Amino acid sequence: MELLVSAINLDEAKEALAGGADILDVKNPKEGSLGANFPWVIKEISDYAEDVIVSTTIGDVPYKPGTVSLAALGSAVSGSNYVKVGLYGPENYEQAVEVMNAVVKTINNYDENITVVACGYADAYRVGSVEPTDIPKVAFDSGCDLAMLDTYLKDGRRLTDHMTHDELKSFVETSHNYNLKVALAGSVNASDIPLLEDINCDIMGVRGCVCTGGDRNNGTIDSLLVRQLKDNI
């Protein structure tokens, strides 16, 4: 299982890499769960981390395929290897596929080697987004490479508060049957490693648990915390 660590700037990116992160994610928590960062920040980090996979969130996106595909292209041009789309606005499978079709076409026209990630929310029932159980099929039918789950509301409730072990296992198995990799996030920490490994999750996504004070918003990434987590995997 690989470790994805979400950084907000170059200093945090350096800490994440020093701690052994496998995938360096770039996001902006001020703009939401999968809040988008600025192109110049993405470029600065991608230029620094030339030999590491750089993943970029493009936001908790609306149901606006054109807008979202432009944001995806901006992420790719700025140096991203992974483009992550938070399917917040789409309310059902059909709308989600429409958005992801536009993103995949856009990215493939630019660089077919870039990985496209369809990300749903384990707490979709609280915000009216597409059901998490639909995400693997959305990802497969639109030509994505990876299916992901996170939590939208960062209110102390975690991935495992919204979905059971069996539900998460089913998500992973369905995705793998579609030949998709799987990333799981949502306030996960070291205590979740046995579960994630048991269900064969490919990528564990974190931020809060490797930040000082365990605070994703006001803390900063600490390489020692990243290393401790990495050593447990």
Cα–Cα distance measured from residue 5 to residue 207, given in angstroms and rounded to the nearest whole number: 6
Burial zone of 70 (CB within 10 Å; 0-12 exposed, 13-18 middle, 19+ buried) = middle
Burial zone of 44 (CB within 10 Å; 0-12 exposed, 13-18 middle, 19+ buried) = middle
Residue 181 is among the residues annotated as catalytic for this protein: no
- Say which of 14, 27, 105, 137 is annotated catalytic: 27
Cα–Cα distance measured from residue 48 to residue 127, given in angstroms and rounded to the nearest whole number: 37
- Say which of 64, 84, 137, 181 is annotated catalytic: 84
Cα–Cα distance measured from residue 103 to residue 111, given in angstroms and rounded to the nearest whole number: 12
Beta bridge partners of 150: 121
Which one-letter DSSP state was computed for residue 207? S
Residue 84 is among the residues annotated as catalytic for this protein: yes
Residues ≥6 apart with Cβ < 8 Å to 79: 42, 43, 45, 46, 47, 54
Annotated catalytic residues are 27, 84
